[in-house]
Structure 1
Amino acid sequence: MMLEIKELCVSYGAIKALKGIDVTLTEGEIVALIGGNGAGKSTTLNTISGLLRPVSGGIRFLDDEITSVPPQEIVSRGIIHVPEGRRIFSSLTVEENLEMGAYLQRDKAAKQRDLEEVFVRFPRLKERRRQAGGTLSGGEQQMLAIARAIMAHPKLLLLDEPSMGLSPVFVEQIFDIIQSINDQGTSILLVEQNAQMALSIADRGYVLETGRIVLSGASDDLLHDPLVIKAYLGG
């Protein structure tokens, strides 16, 4: 098992954000977490990446307990988090943003190879390599955030609302990129309000409501579940 979350409880003061959730992800999978605002999706990712400390429960990654491991060490173990809102460095160029993703890479030649490979995958970023990140469109910034994460050679990629605020054309492109990253062997935990798109590329999914998992299963099963259709697919 690559990732195993057991009975995870997280609170913000008196507010219980996660109430004992269990989530698993095996190597090579895309697993989707879907649910409305305030369901606990982002909290789950922030806890995996060490930005939040749980009240109780545990997280294991590649058979190692990581529940109380600091964020910088979680990154070095291969868990890379693309947060909601992209969080690129707006005053740095596209290329400088990408180099920030490779800050653990000490080999300059290897870093340059990684950069050229990213530019092959994201030709739009290559065209804008000298532009400040803040001058890019929302879709281009999302591409940059994902490309910066790839520079770190993730074993597990945590993606938080990658389609938020994007035009339909960019949403399609971003999900094609996510699928291609997975096809090359990177496991992905995907948090997404666009349930239709998320489940269309995921192997399995979990439905979160107010800090609890209320449904889980194969993506095809969830896409045809009456509760999911009614609540998240506009049925």
Structure 2
Amino acid sequence: MLEVNDLNVYYGAIHALKGISFHLEEGEIVALIGSNGAGKSSTLNTISGLLRSRTGEIKFQGENISETPPDEIVRRGIIQVPEGRRIFAPLTVTENLEMGAYIHNDRVQIEQDMEEMFNRFPRLRERRKQTGGTLSGGEQQMLAIARGLMARPKLLLLDEPSMGLAPLLVEQIFEIIQDINKRGTSILLVEQNAQMALSIADRGYVLETGKIILEDSADALLENPLVINAYLGG
């Protein structure tokens, strides 16, 4: 479904991604794990078209999207839920969800999608008239994911969904991610909580200073001494 080949991305003179290559099959959850500054968010932003690679290519469903504008990438079905939620704080929960559906014109379908989001996230139904900025961190994360789903993604890019959340809420968010995947959406998950990410992923890649240093099944990575020592508190 997604094929990333030889990405080299720079911020000025800083070489952020150094020849990154990986793939994701339809229906998979693939985790990208690594410490802060490893290049995880830069990878997602390059796939989304927000950053450009100097080399290589990105293929989605067999088509090269390396030069495709971000809005067209959204229309093709790749949706990113950004790090730090990035909800529209002055808008209500309902308005945030409507913003997620901006590429669709069928009003009836949008209303049905919104009802589905309220069924998946009952807390958002209770808060639907509240502005996004008044929600708790966990509620904002649910809203960010629901807003992404309103675009009806084929591939969902999740950037640090557990950041800043209490452990109980982290478990809840990861259950939601598994449910989204079971309903047919492929997921590329960037996450510092390696234990949680690998516990729900099919496969994983470990990034270090802009390079992929390890790739394996999620189960194998959970038992890999390198991963245990560096990322699982071993």
Say whether the fold is shared (TM-score over 0.5).
yes
Partner of residue 84, structure 1: 83
Distance 1:220 1:169 in 2: 23
2:65 partner amino acid: I
The one-letter code sitting in structure 2 at the alignment partner of 1:198 is A
The aligned residue for residue 188 of structure 1 is 187
Matching residue of 2:155: 156
Structure 1 Cα separation of the partners of residues 12 and 88 of structure 2: 30
What is the one-letter code of the residue matched to 1:124? R
Residue 50 (structure 2) aligns with: 51
Aligned to 1:25: 24
- Mapped to 1, the partners of 2:225 and 2:108 lie a distance apart of 53
Distance 1:158 1:111 in 2: 21
Amino acid at match of 1:90: A
**Superposition deviation, residue 169 in structure 1:** 1.0
Aligned to 2:199, the other structure's residue is in SS state helix
Structure 1, gaps ≥5 residues long? none
Q: CA RMSD in A?
A: 0.4
Number of aligned positions between the proteins: 234
Task: Give the alignment of 1:87-166 within 5 angstroms.
Answer: 87-166=86-165
2-structure distance, mates of 1:14, 1:84: 24
Query: Residue 9 of structure 1 aligns to a residue in which SS?
Result: strand
1:57 Cα deviation from its structure 2 partner: 1.1
Match of 1:178 in 2: 177
2:103 partner SS: coil
- Deviant stretches of 4+, over 3 Å: none
Distance 1:209 1:31 in 2: 17
Q: Secondary structure at the match of 1:100?
A: helix
1:19-63: CA deviations, max 9, x gaps?
001110000000000000110000000000000011111100000
Distance (Å, rounded) in 2 between the aligned partners of 1:33 and 1:161: 10
Q: Output the CA distance in 1 between the equivalents of 2:170 and 2:75.
A: 29
**Unmatched segments (≥5 aa) in structure 2:** none
Aligned equivalents of 1:87, 1:76: Cα separation in 2: 20
Aligned to 1:3: 2
Q: How far apart in 2 are the matches of 1:44 and 1:152?
A: 21
Instruction: Give percent identity, aligned residues only.
Output: 72
Q: TM-score, normalised by structure 2?
A: 0.99
Q: Secondary structure at the match of 1:56?
A: coil
